[in-house]
Chain A
Amino acid sequence: MMHHQRNTLGVVALTAVMLLTACGIEPADSPDATTDGSPSTTDGATATAAPSATPVGGGEPEDELFFTNWPLYIDQDDDGNSPTLQQFEEATGIDVTYSEAIEDNTSFFGTIQPALAAGEDTGHDIIVMTDWMIGNLARLGYLEPIDVERDVPNFVANTDPVYLDRSYDPGNRYSVPFQSGITGIGYNPALVDEEITSMAQLLDPELIEKYCGQIGMFVEMRDSMSFAMLYNGVNPSEATMEDAEAAQQVLLEQAPCVRDYYGNEYAQALADGSLAITMAWSGDVFQLQFDNPDLQFVVPEEGAILWTDNMAIPKGAQHPNAALAMMDYLYDPEVAAQVAEWVNYITPVPGAKEIILQHAEEAEDPEDAEYLRTVAESPLVFPTEDMLSRLYSYKVLDEDEERAWNELFQEVVQG
């Protein structure tokens, strides 16, 4: 929902970018920023190319913390305060400045890049970025290394093994997950008279004939390209340039029947009946089901992307110990449950499920209890083993690949 937010205020942002360029764009001072475009066999290789340094942390927490996140990504009470953040402040005495300044990975990167390239503090102690962007930032040497064994013990103790050693950040040297979601298929059974189990029903030119004009795809390049790669039987995180071209072919053949390439607004189009079948993010469909319980979310048999938004400390951050304290705190199952109850994406702490069920038992209002049980039992918040076994990661692209893939995909969405 808040994830991958497409910037509808593009005009404003465009002005900002123009001002930014007017100030001149300094090249990154990182020595390996200019790595040649030699294709890496695993995406892990690109991430590990960053200069190794001693991890930050191991000291007393500072007395303040600047935490920057996506909109609507933390619990909120009726007054607009976050109980989770307030409890953290009370427990630690750290003064937290929480901002929801991240609307989009790329444009947020544009705002912090000049400071990072100049070796200055960005003003953020924790940023939350999607996995591939974490890989990019690490490769450019823009993140502080962390030692999760020493400073984030709750992560080591409480996370699901599926979040350890992901390809974009092997060994969690720079980041720990905040929340995750699945890019799968959503459909409206009122307009689809069959059970959807496969991507073919969304991509095969013959099968999609009957939904022509009612099909939605994502405008996020990585999502749609990875989707088509899975359809072609390719693991997206190991895709080559040929795989990307093949994926583009699939998408171009499908394009005449696609109604539009959507950002977050696909959810509205699915809800109002404009779309019969569409790519979808798990958390959104979970929310939509409260209004229309018939809507379905499927992890197709070919597989799906498990994307993860991660917390990381930008280079030069002023309060790294406080940042690590916050990360550790968020991995306390009680806290993770409190956030999951409100956010409804996939929490990296599976133990939160039991606690949410317990909260449901204790809830006085039967409606609250019902809601909490729905959250705890939904495979969209706590995915089943079967779902998890079919999940893949985005590839961490180097700059040349990213440019080439973007060009391939722009032809799909804009002709």
Chain B
Amino acid sequence: MSDWLRRHRGLVPYLFLVPGGLWLIAFFVVPLVTTASVALQEGSLGTGYRLTFNFGIFPEAVSRWDTQLLRSLQFGLIVTVLAMLIGYPMAYTIAFRGGRYKNILLLLVIMPFFTSFIIRTISWKFILADQGFVLGTLKDLGVLEPGFRLLATPVAVISGITYNFLPFVVLPLYVALERIDPRLIEAATDLYASRLQAFLRVTLPLSIPGVFAASLLSFIPAVGDYLNAELLGSRNETMIGNVIQRLYLVNNDYPQAAALSLILMLGILVSVFVYRRMLHGQELTV
């Protein structure tokens, strides 16, 4: 065996790829192919499904659910921008001003993961209930109209998703910012750059790989999110994940659900590709 390896030294890197490759095949390629095949079938759960290569299902599904598809992309975009506006200053402070508290601060960032995100999202339902602790008190004080509500509004859903994915934004930003050599910033100030100029021309460009990773890690799950709209939203905040869930589990309309899953994936791929082009010329990997 070792002789063989010595003679075929060039193969070693490929051998290292085998476990990961098998993983991808089993848990990505196979489900993807299955999903594609389900999308092209016709029938019902009771009578069975047959593969009929019904490609018409894709345009049908898009035109039936265009509102929800666009809403998902729109919510995903807003969430990403919000998470970036909140997460960048957080990551910046931890990386450059954290000092000896860095580890504790990072622990605090990932602390929410110690409880299930379902439980955390459900607790927002209690906190924000119309007559609950927060809104009820503000209404009694006359600060808010009696009819005011946060739940079942886009504000609640977008805030919920932002809240749930914020750590995914802070961590890659922190990693990117942490790597920046402080001497570069010092050099910039030595060369008469104001602090703002130093940030805009040194720190920010050097952190772009983190920004790219962070926005993908929030945008992709946010677009496909189902839970926040389910728990905090109403009919008018329905996202494509909710539609797919209902098609699969309530209507047992597997083909349409599978088709929508693929369309969602395509939509995300296109968005990421456009985004990648927007950052053209930037170094995007750390």
Interface residues of A (CB under 8 A from B): 7-11, 13-14, 17-18, 21-22, 25-28, 33-34, 104, 106-107, 109-110, 113, 117, 136, 140, 213-214, 221, 255, 258-261, 265, 268-269, 272-274, 399, 403, 406-407, 410, 412-415
Q: Is the CB of B45 within 8 A of A406?
A: no
**How near does chain A come to B231, taking the closest CB pair, in angstroms?**
8
Q: Determine if B235 and A33 form an interchain contact, defined as CB atoms under 8 angstroms apart.
A: no
B250 close to chain A: CB less than 8 A: yes
Q: Does B118 contact A (CB under 8 A)?
A: yes
CB contacts (< 8 Å) of A406 on chain B: these are 250-251, 253
Please measure, in the bound complex, the distance between the C-alpha atom of A25 and the C-alpha atom of B44, giving whole angstroms: 10
Residue of B nearest to A109 (CB): B45
Residues on A with C-beta less than 8 A from B47 are: 27-28, 33-34, 399
Give complex CA distance A22, B32 in Å: 10
Q: Which of B130, B152, B231 has the most CB of A within 10 A?
A: B130
Check if A28 sits within 8 Å of B48, measured CB to CB.
yes
CA distance A104 to B248 in the complex (A): 13
Q: List 6 A-B contacts (CB under 8 A).
A: A18-B35, A34-B47, A255-B235, A414-B238, A414-B246, A415-B67
Contacts of A268 in B (CB 8 A): 125-126
| Docked-complex contact A22 and B31, CB < 8 angstroms | yes
User: Quick one: closest B residue to A26, CB to CB?
Assistant: B48
Whole-angstrom distance between the alpha carbons of A273 and B231 in the complex?
Answer: 17
The residues of B that contact A269 with a CB separation of less than 8 Å are 129
| Nearest-Cβ distance from residue A240 to partner chain B, whole angstroms | 20
Specify the chain B residue showing the minimal Cβ separation from A217. B235
Partner of A22, one of B34, B44, B234, B249: B34
Distance in Å from the Cβ of B261 to the closest Cβ of chain A? 9
Does residue B197 face the partner (Cβ distance < 8 Å to A)? no
A contact residues around B189 at 8 Å (CB)? none
Find the B residue at minimum CB distance from A413. Answer: B235
* Main SS class of interface, A: helix
Apart from A13-B249, A272-B129, A407-B251, what are 10 other A-B pairs with CB-CB below 8 Å?
A7-B249, A8-B230, A8-B231, A21-B34, A28-B47, A255-B235, A259-B152, A268-B126, A274-B131, A415-B236
Beta-carbon contact of B132 and A14 below 8 Å = no
Nearest 6 Cβ contacts at the A-B interface: A27-B48, A273-B131, A414-B238, A406-B251, A260-B234, A274-B130
A406 to B250, CA, bound (A): 8
Say how far A66's CB is from chain B's closest CB, in angstroms. 23
Contacts of B34 in A (CB 8 A): 18, 21-22
A11: B residues at CB distance < 8 A: 226-227
Q: List residues of B whose CB falls within 8 A of some A CB.
A: 30-31, 34-35, 38, 43-49, 67-68, 118, 125-126, 129-132, 136, 147, 149, 151-152, 226-227, 230-231, 233-236, 238, 242-254, 258
**Judging by beta carbons under 8 Å apart, are A403 and B130 in contact?**
no
Closest to B116 in A: A9
Assembled-state Cα–Cα distance A109/B249 (Å): 10
Partner of A260, one of B68, B126, B152, B251: B152
Pairwise interchain contact B248-A14, C-beta atoms closer than 8 A: yes
Nearest residue (CB) in A for B131 is A273
Can you name the residue of chain A whose Cβ is closest to the Cβ of B247? A410
Whether A414 lies near B45 (C-beta < 8 A) is no
- Give bound CA distance, A215 to B152, whole Å: 12
Cα–Cα distance between A14 and B251 once the two chains are bound (Å): 13
Q: Are B46 and A17 in contact (CB-based, < 8 A)?
A: no
Q: Are A213 and B46 in contact (CB under 8 A)?
A: no
List the A side residues contacting B235 at CB < 8 Å.
Answer: 255, 258, 260-261, 412-415
Most buried by B among A9, A27, A412: A27
Query: Which of A25, A274, A410, A415 is close to B251, meaning CB atoms less than 8 Å apart?
Result: A410
Q: Which residues of A contact B227 (CB under 8 A)?
A: 8, 10-11
Known: A136-B46, A213-B147, A258-B234. A414 touches B68 (CB 8 A): yes
Contact call A33/B249, Cβ cutoff below 8 A = no
Docked Cα-Cα span, A157 to B63, in Å, equals: 57
Q: Shortest Cβ distance from B224 into chain A, in angstroms?
A: 10
**Chain A CB within 10 Å — which of B67, B231, B234, B242 has the most?**
B234
- Residues from chain A with a CB closer than 8 A to the CB of B251 are 403, 406-407, 410
Q: Please measure, in the bound complex, the distance between the C-alpha atom of A60 and the C-alpha atom of B235, giving whole angstroms.
A: 54
Verify A25–B45 contact, CB threshold 8 A: yes
User: Looking across the interface, which residue of chain B has its beta carbon closest to that of A274?
Assistant: B130
CB distance B250 to A25 under 8 Å? no
**Chain B residues closer than 8 Å to A412, beta-carbon distance:** 235
Contacts of A410 in B (CB 8 A): 243, 246-247, 251
Least CB distance, B203 to chain A, in whole angstroms? 38
Known: A25-B45, A33-B46, A399-B46. A110 touches B252 (CB 8 A): yes
The chain A residue with its CB closest to the CB of B146 is A191
Q: B233: which A residues are within 8 A, CB to CB?
A: 260
A415 and B238 form a contact (CB under 8 A): yes
Contact indicator B149/A213 (Cβ below 8 Å): yes
Please, how many angstroms separate the alpha-carbon atoms of A159 and B58 in the complex?
52
Which chain B residues lie closer than 8 Å to A414 at the CB level? Answer: 68, 235, 238, 242-243, 246
Residues on the A chain within 8 Å of B244, using CB: 14
- Give the Cβ gap from B32 to chain A, nearest Cβ, in Å: 10
When distances are taken between beta carbons in the complex, the residues of chain A under 8 Å from B249 are: 7, 10, 13-14, 17, 104, 106-107, 110
| Bound: A140/B46 CA distance, A | 8
Q: How far is the CB of B39 from chain A (nearest CB, A)?
A: 11
**Nearest residue, chain B, Cβ from A27:** B48
- Check A273 against B254 for contact (C-beta < 8 Å): no
* CB proximity of B175 to chain A, nearest CB, Å: 27
Chain B residues with Cβ below 8 Å from A7 are 249
- A272 and B238 in contact, given A11-B226, A136-B46, A414-B246 (Cβ under 8 angstroms): no
Q: Name the residue on A nearest B34 (C-beta).
A: A22
- B151:A274 contact, CB within 8 angstroms: yes
Rounded to whole angstroms, the CA-CA distance of A33 and B38 in the bound complex is: 21
Measured CA separation A407–B44 after assembly (Å): 14
Q: Contacts of A28 on B, CB cut-off 8 Å?
A: 46-48
> Are B46 and A18 in touch, CB under 8 angstroms?
no
